[in-house]
Amino acid sequence: MTSQRSIILRTEAASFCQALVVRLTPQELLPRYFTLNPKITEHGPTWCRDRLPFLAETFSGISGKDSCLSYFDALSQTLKMHMDETTFPDNNEYIVDPDAVVEGENGSGVVCVVGKARFESVKTGNSWREQFIYRLSGFDADGKIGHWVAC
């Protein structure tokens, strides 16, 4: 059972990451990959909050104030993500614990992956390359993501 669950979580996580690469819209991403009451949290230094208002906040739910859709709106107004086929590793390099439970979350399972991409400021046009970690957790029985944490 655990190995089948690992395969489901790894497959869904990798599919979600590839959906980011091909730039599915938030309206396509959320119902396809997330539970009915998802959360998105993006960590970063507090000194960046003036320029990147989505940092250090947890966005909950699909729509409305402080929702996952508002996260994507804030993100798109400040950054362009230039992801490509090299952004994420092969599926077998995703770290999967199908039984892990994160305190305060519904569902079980945690998947972590390290990615790399070029980001560009919408305001200034300045760009940079960075590595980041995605922790996907709180999966439901079908492998939909409950919480996406970006670091």
Low pLDDT (below 50) residues in the chain: 1
Terminal alpha carbon distance of the chain: 30
pLDDT score at 1:
47
pLDDT in tens, 61-96: 998 999 999 999 999 999 999 999 999 999 999 999
Give the 3-state secondary structure percentages of the chain, helix then strand then coil, rounded to 5: 30, 35, 35
d(CA 136, CA 143): 10
- Which domains does the chain carry? 2-150 (3.10.450.50)
